[in-house]
Amino acid sequence: MDNTPRILVFAGSARKESLNRKLAAAAHQMIQDAGGVSTLLDAAEVSLPLYNQDLEENGLPEEALRLKKIFAEHDALLIASPEYNSSITPFLKNLIDWVSRPTEGEEMTAQFRGKVAGLVSASPSGLGGMRALVHVRDILGNIGVLVIPEQKAIPNAFDVFDEEGKIQDENVVKGVRTVVESLVASTQKLKG
Ligand SMILES: Cc1cc2nc3c(=O)[nH]c(=O)nc-3n(C[C@H](O)[C@H](O)[C@H](O)COP(=O)(O)O)c2cc1C
């Protein structure tokens, strides 16, 4: 059986110049270098309404179904999460909430249970978004995701990416690569 980990990478921000979208793109490349199969889900192409249970009256919206299918095709998640008021962004929480919703006959949070996740963050501040990662880790853990202990929060991130979105600082590259390599190895082990 092919046990190459299939990893879904995305950012918790849809902003045009998002630092975390750049970080997700960099991690996507590193996953492939580490022997994983990576899909980069562009947050800017996600168009989910703000979650409201009334919107499920006639079944889940097409966009939620599309995302659930993409999640189902992957073994692991690599999330680049910004920090808003020391926590998760509404964009990321909304995405998690929609994907967690079951279709008929399906268990709640089926697209999360048994998956592995790695977390990274980028912020212009000195803490690099690490307070958000505490909350993202907690949320994912509570819906059955095994979040690996390695994580990387990148402070002063406006100075870290060049025009093409490439990470300029070798120590930062090393930190993100540590997360990626651990995610690939952990997922591979769990897949047997
Ligand atoms: C509503 C709001 C709250 C924010 N709160 C924090 C914060 O608590 N900590 C932090 O490091 N940055 C905070 N920021 C700044 C973000 O880190 C910054 O806008 C960053 O670029 C967002 O990520 P992105 O570039 O991927 O969109 C906040 C920004 C917004 C809009």
Q: Which CATH number characterizes residue 34's domain?
A: 3.40.50.360
Model confidence over 91-123: pLDDT tens digits?
A: 999 999 999 999 999 999 999 999 999 999 999
In a domain, 145, yes or no: yes
In a domain, 1, yes or no: no
Q: Is 19 in the pocket of ligand 1 (CB under 6 A)?
A: yes
| pLDDT at 192 (0 to 100) | 79
Q: Is 87 in the pocket of ligand 1 (CB under 6 A)?
A: no
Q: Show the domain range for 66.
A: 6-191
Low-confidence stretches of the chain (pLDDT < 70) are 1
The ligand 1 atom nearest the CA atom of 125: 11
In a domain, 51, yes or no: yes
In a domain, 14, yes or no: yes
Helices then strands, counting H and E runs in the chain, come out as: 5, 5
Q: Is 82 in the pocket of ligand 1 (CB under 6 A)?
A: yes
User: Atom 18, ligand 1: which residue's CA is nearest?
Assistant: 123
In a domain, 124, yes or no: yes
What total of structural domains would you count in the chain?
1
In a domain, 176, yes or no: yes
Distance separating alpha carbons of residues 191 and 187, to the nearest angstrom: 6
| pLDDT at 173 (0 to 100) | 98
End-to-end CA distance of the chain: 9
Distance separating alpha carbons of residues 169 and 166, to the nearest angstrom: 9
